[in-house]
Structure 1
Amino acid sequence: MASSTTRPDVETAAPSARVAGRLLDSSAKLSYDPLTEVDWETPLDTDFHGASPEWSTLYGTSYWDELTEAQRKELTRHEAASVASTGIWFEMILQQLILRDVYAKDPGDDAVQWALTEIADECRHSIMFARGAKKLGAPAYRPRRVAVELGRAFKTLAFGEAAYAAILVAEEVLDVMQRDWMRDERVVPFVRTINNIHVVEESRHMKFARDETRKNLAKAGPVRRHIHAFVIAVAAYVIVTSMVNKGVYANAGLDPERALAAARSNEHHKAMMRSSCSGLMDFLASARLLTKPALAFYKRAHLI
């Protein structure tokens, strides 16, 4: 760990620079190396879940009730691996968005140095997620082709509040579910460690994303605000609907068609998603990004 002394120039900087400076200080005090913090050596214990059962896409359905405990645990391990794989996909998008934003800016600026620190965090997280999914015994779940191509366009074209608010959406949704998983003793210990690392370090990323969203919106006119509100909502829909790959059901030994139908109509899971996004929706509302077209996509994704 680095020194815990706050740099003296932080409090005298401009508001945005103060946020970045404090985040750099926080990162110096509390950051993790997943290669040494996570127990990669102990073999997978299949007596544990991969995620809190209540977060399973089938929890609360009649199909879930028919499953044995072993089947439920296998399913949550594949679902956790799918969420991790989706996280890697979006973290790659995130890194490119941030690199484009700070390209050719003053590297001595705290905001640029924080952006580079965040990219370094995301690189470690992606490797951590990849190793975690592999240890869970799951394949590399990838988003469907249309999501990949939409992500390719988004990472190339998005800027300002559209980029940072979309980053916030992905991080907020993951944050709430992972806070549950990391405290749940039914979840396999190494996954709990992964979730704890991600929650601690992503809390700084979310602070920066909120600050950058507000800062960019301050110079956005009504047309740009409405366009970006729609873009953010579409991005949120694609991210959330990509989290659990439909292949998890067959790989967990379930009837894929029946499982997929049950998941799509699962009111419990929809309620969990809405609950997890209440704080996010409050923020988007305060930023005047919940326009009518945007709301339509948030409702389709069961985020509101």
Structure 2
Amino acid sequence: MTTSTPNRAAAATPNREEFSERLLKGSVKKSYEPVVDIDWDAPLDPDKYFLPPEMVTLYGTPAWDALTREQQIDLSRQELVNILSAGIWFENILNQALLRDLMHKNPTAHSTHYALTELGDETRHMIMFGKAIDKVGGIPVRPKLFQRIIINSLPLVFRGPVLWTAALVGEEIFDSLQRQILEDPDLQPVVQRLMRIHVTEEARHIQFARDGLRKSVPVMPWYRRALIANLHGAGGPFYRMLFTLPLQYSRMGLDGQEMRRVARRNPHFHTKCVSGFAPLAAFFEEVGLMGRVGRRMWRRAGFL
């Protein structure tokens, strides 16, 4: 008697432990130590951007065209510093959540070991982002007190599927945008190297989170699935706020409030937001986690 194709496919699908073991082996083969794997002593090129021009929020607007090339480069530097600062605070949330979640896990499991490996990666990424901000002469964008209170409270509720969903919202959009700009010849070499390291290691983190959701959604109670499918929509207004912080414009002498309005009306900026969210949106649709409210929030923020 022959085995049916669906059964063979199911048998070939790795369980959580097998999948985690694959990721662990991948981490052994290709991981980085940014302190030594990036040439921090190399000089910056005064004529190269810190983000490609088309990734800057004002690109394609009269406000952008009115800037000198030197000012455009400086704006790309300020926006890079803003993004790296957000990356540090998000990695902080994720690490706290991972540690709290691991308190309830089997310490001998491959999935636990990979979560610890990811925690180590994220800690090194925080160092890498901090050193990069210092390297480009930037000032970190610090969360306000009430924001820090919220940041420190989020790990209390980020567990299981909620944790994996939050991890994907925090990682996939940046990952997608970074992949679009890795080979840009006008980019500062130190930024190119940083993004190459981050994309390589985040790819495994994203696979781990996606696998966690794929395996948990089918057995999830309907009310929890409905909650998660709509709760992630809060990422839309959050990213809209993050990408257009007035501070990044005012630090280079522009009217921060006015430039935020210009950026939020910028069709080119909207296009980049949509392309950054597209892979994650497709995944949420695939696993049945794109709720009506969540979709509406992402669309209103300009990501759909």
Q: What's 1:46 paired with?
A: 46
Letter of the 2:110 counterpart: D
Using the alignment, how far apart are the partners of 1:236 and 1:255 within structure 2? 24
Residue pair 2:245, 2:260 contacting (<8 A) in 1 also:
no
Q: What's 2:76 paired with?
A: 76
Q: How many pairs are equivalent?
A: 294
Q: Does residue 1:194 correspond to 2:194, yes or no?
A: yes
Q: What's 1:279 paired with?
A: 279
Q: Does residue 1:242 correspond to 2:242, yes or no?
A: yes
Q: CA deviation at 1:13?
A: 11
Using the alignment, how far apart are the partners of 1:279 and 1:12 within structure 2? 25
Q: What's 1:24 paired with?
A: 24
Q: Would the alpha carbon gap of residues 38 and 114 (structure 1) be closer, same or farther in structure 2, given more than 3 Å must change?
A: same
Q: How does 1:150-229 map to 2 (within 5 A)?
A: 150-229=150-229
Letter of the 2:265 counterpart: S
Letter of the 2:40 counterpart: W
Q: CA deviation at 1:21?
A: 0.4
Using the alignment, how far apart are the partners of 1:100 and 1:244 within structure 2? 32
Secondary structure of the residue that 2:180 maps to in structure 1? helix
Gaps of 5+ in 1: 1-10
Q: CA deviation at 1:12?
A: 10
Using the alignment, how far apart are the partners of 1:240 and 1:93 within structure 2? 19
1:163-196 alpha-carbon deviations (Å, 9 max, x no partner): 1011112211111221233211111100100000
Q: CA deviation at 1:15?
A: 1.0
Please give the TM-score of this superposition, normalised by the length of structure 1: 0.91
Q: Indicate the larger mover: 21-30 or 258-267.
A: 258-267
Q: What's 1:4 paired with?
A: none
**Aligned alpha-carbon RMSD (Å):** 2.0
Residue pair 2:51, 2:187 contacting (<8 A) in 1 also:
yes
Using the alignment, how far apart are the partners of 2:242 and 2:98 within structure 1? 22
Q: What's 2:258 paired with?
A: 258
Q: CA deviation at 1:78?
A: 0.9
Gaps of 5+ in 2: 1-10
Q: CA deviation at 1:139?
A: 0.7
Identity among equivalent pairs (%):
34
Q: Does residue 1:89 correspond to 2:89, yes or no?
A: yes
Letter of the 2:212 counterpart: E
Q: CA deviation at 1:85?
A: 0.5
Using the alignment, how far apart are the partners of 1:185 and 1:116 within structure 2? 36
Q: CA deviation at 1:46?
A: 2.3
Q: Would the alpha carbon gap of residues 99 and 218 (structure 1) be closer, same or farther in structure 2, given more than 3 Å must change?
A: farther
